[in-house]
């Protein structure tokens, strides 16, 4: 099994990126991932994000570089990449109704 990425604090990095969880924060996340659509509510954002497979480490890196992160075709492809690279977000830090919870997929 791959080890989790060491020196980065991905939880802190994502929290800083996402903000307080306003509708605007959710809309920015959808845009940054490259989603198009009607994101007039947080629930619509959540629904759209459930269909996307991105690595959270790569999302943060892409946003910082002004790029759209790579989107995997399915959860299996994301899982294989995540395990291979060790870019595993700690599940215990996913807030029940937060964006990380929506983006997390079963990896192991």
In a domain, 66, yes or no: yes
pLDDT of residue 6: 52
Of 103 and 44, the structure prediction assigns the larger pLDDT to: 44
Domain of residue 62, residue span:
10-103
* Residue-averaged pLDDT of the chain: 90
In a domain, 4, yes or no: no
In a domain, 3, yes or no: no
Q: Please provide residue 45's backbone torsions phi and psi, each rounded to the nearest 5 degrees.
A: -65, -50
Of the candidates 21, 27, 69, 20, the residue with the CA atom closest to the CA atom of residue 44: 27
The 10s digit of each residue's pLDDT in 40-77 is 999 999 999 999 999 999 999 999 999 999 999 999 99
Report the predicted TM-score, pTM, of the whole model to 2 decimal places. 0.85
pLDDT of residue 100: 85
| Domain total in the chain | 1
């Amino acid at each position: 099994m791959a080890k989790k990425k060491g020196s980065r604090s991905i939880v802190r990095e994502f929290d800083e990126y996402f903000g307080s969880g306003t509708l605007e924060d959710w809309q920015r996340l959808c845009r940054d991932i490259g989603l198009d659509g009607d994101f007039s509510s947080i629930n619509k954002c959540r629904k759209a994000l459930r269909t996307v497979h991105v690595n959270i480490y790569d999302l943060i890196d892409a946003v910082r570089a002004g790029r759209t992160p790579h989107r995997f075709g399915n959860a299996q492809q994301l899982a294989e990449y995540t395990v291979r690279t060790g870019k595993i977000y700690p599940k215990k830090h996913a807030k029940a109704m937060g964006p990380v919870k929506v983006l997390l997929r079963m990896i192991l």
